[in-house]
């Protein structure tokens, strides 16, 4: 994996935050073409929610309405409380350590930070602000999720949005997802094709905004 996807913590920490007080809402109330995944592929028993900030929900509804008939959005996760972010971060770090025992402590720390925001960093984790959402596409006729990763698995090896070596089908499906989300104002963290956000520190860094609009939210 590359050393950075252009969003080092040093830059994210420098982004000012002006919390605007927007509530969390369930985007499924705004569009029948938004759905919620039955389970998380890695953390099957962890509680999840599709709720996101109101503006993000509106953007998702707009994107869903732009998709071709028979293809809808499916949310994997929206808002994530800090205690869950901490659990995911530590679990992912352990999984990487078990899979790559030859990695140095610095490499393990760097790669974990690329795939999961450190929960106790001064920069709020994207999902803990309510401004980030993990999502993908699925076929409403077959009920099957669209192929976004072949011939690889859905893990760190296939995570970069524009990575080479994917099947033509997976590349086309990623282009379709990008094509409906970007016009709404949502932005992608290029280290993870499924991760999109608005209003958080990552969004501000990507767009050059003067400040982020969403700070971390309370646990409840």
**Is residue 216 in some structural domain?**
no
**Is residue 214 in some structural domain?**
no
pTM: 0.90
CATH label of the domain that carries residue 128: 3.30.1380.10
Per-residue pLDDT band for 70 (boundaries 50, 70, 90) equals very high
**Is residue 4 in some structural domain?**
no
**Is residue 144 in some structural domain?**
yes
Partners of 77 in beta bridges: 134
- How far apart, in whole angstroms, are the C-alpha atoms of residue 151 and residue 138? 18
| Tokens linked to 5 | 């996807």
Q: How many domains in the chain?
A: 1
pLDDT at 156: 78
Mean per-residue pLDDT, 86-113: 83
**Is residue 112 in some structural domain?**
yes
For 170, the domain range is 9-207
pLDDT at 61: 99
**Lowest mean pLDDT across 15-29, 155-169, 196-210:** 155-169
DSSP secondary structure string for all residues of 58-101: HHHHHHHHHSPTTEEEEEEE----HHHHHHHHHHHHHHHHHH-T
């Amino acid at each position: 994996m590359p050393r950075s996807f252009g969003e080092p913590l040093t830059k994210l920490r420098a982004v000012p935050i002006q919390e605007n007080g927007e509530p969390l809402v369930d985007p499924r109330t705004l569009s029948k073409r938004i759905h919620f995944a039955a389970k998380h592929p890695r953390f099957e028993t962890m509680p999840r929610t599709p709720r996101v900030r109101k503006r993000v929900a509106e953007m998702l509804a707009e994107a869903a309405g732009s998709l071709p008939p028979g293809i809808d959005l499916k949310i994997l996760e929206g808002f994530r409380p800090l205690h869950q972010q901490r659990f995911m971060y530590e679990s992912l770090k352990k999984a990487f350590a078990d899979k790559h025992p030859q990695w140095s402590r610095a490499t393990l720390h760097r790669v974990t930070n690329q795939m999961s925001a450190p929960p106790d960093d001064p920069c709020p984790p994207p999902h803990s602000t309510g401004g980030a959402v993990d999502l993908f596409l699925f076929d409403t006729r077959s009920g099957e999720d669209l192929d976004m990763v072949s011939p690889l698995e859905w893990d760190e090896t296939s995570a970069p949005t524009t990575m080479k070596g994917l099947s033509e089908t997976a590349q086309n499906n990623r282009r379709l997802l990008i094509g409906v989300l970007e016009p709404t104002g949502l932005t992608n963290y290029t280290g993870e094709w499924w991760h999109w956000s608005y209003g958080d520190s990552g969004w501000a860094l990507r767009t050059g905004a003067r400040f982020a609009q969403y700070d971390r939210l309370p646990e409840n």
